[in-house]
Amino acid sequence: MLKEIILAVIVSFDTFLVTSACFGSGIRIPLVPAVLIDLIGGAVLGLSLGLSELISRAVSEEICRSVGTAVLCLIGTVTVFKSLLRSLIRRLSERGELSLKTGNSGLMIKLYLDDTAADLDHSSSLSVSEAAALALASSLDSAATGLGSGAAGISPVKAAVFAFISGAAAIGGGYLAGKKISSLSHDLSWLGGVFLILFAVFGQS
């Protein structure tokens, strides 16, 4: 059960950062969209873990464990570099040296780089559809993490339940910490990548 809790907390860290970015930018997340974000996050993790568990039954445990560790380390490394990229883009845009135009087809790219881009209608409040798009974009790492954790003996159902619980806490924490997080000049999502690498090294055994 400890592995499920640790994994749920790690993947909920992104939810905390996403919601704190929204609240810190003055974007409200009403109850229904907040619950939807939490449900999608837990469901994505549970489904990806279930799929990974099925795949691990057809492949030797040693191979699955090695591949899973490598995948999680890769995701963690990508998360760290994504954080650095977001910080760079933020600095360039603030200095007027960058104008990122991706159009409607680039919505997922926008959300991946800027969480506050979810407020498409600039109403300062997330609708259900906007919350769903934000949750799916922020769950990409969770899906990959679940697929890489199938040989770690993690229960998909328990992990999904704990992800829902920790996700709710993350949203609440994001609301409370929004102003403080938004005032920082550095993107903190790299911490999630570091936690994931540590989990890959010590949690897969």
Does 84 or 163 have the greater pLDDT score?
A: 163
What are 16-59's pLDDT values in tens digits? 888 887 887 788 889 999 999 999 989 988 898 888 888 777 77
Average pLDDT value for residue range 179-202:
69
The H or E element containing residue 48 is: helix 31-58
Opening angle at CA 83, ends 81 and 164, nearest 5: 115
Question: Taking 70 as the threshold, does the pLDDT of residue 111 lie above it?
Answer: no
| Dist. CA 80–CA 27, nearest whole Å | 26
pLDDT (0 to 100) of residue 120: 66
Number of domains in the chain: 1
CB 77 within 8 A of CB 193: yes
What are 133-160's pLDDT values in tens digits? 878 877 777 777 777 776 667 888 898 9
Supply the range of the domain harboring residue 35: 2-202
| Dist. CA 153–CA 130, nearest whole Å | 34
Does 83 or 172 have the greater pLDDT score?
A: 172
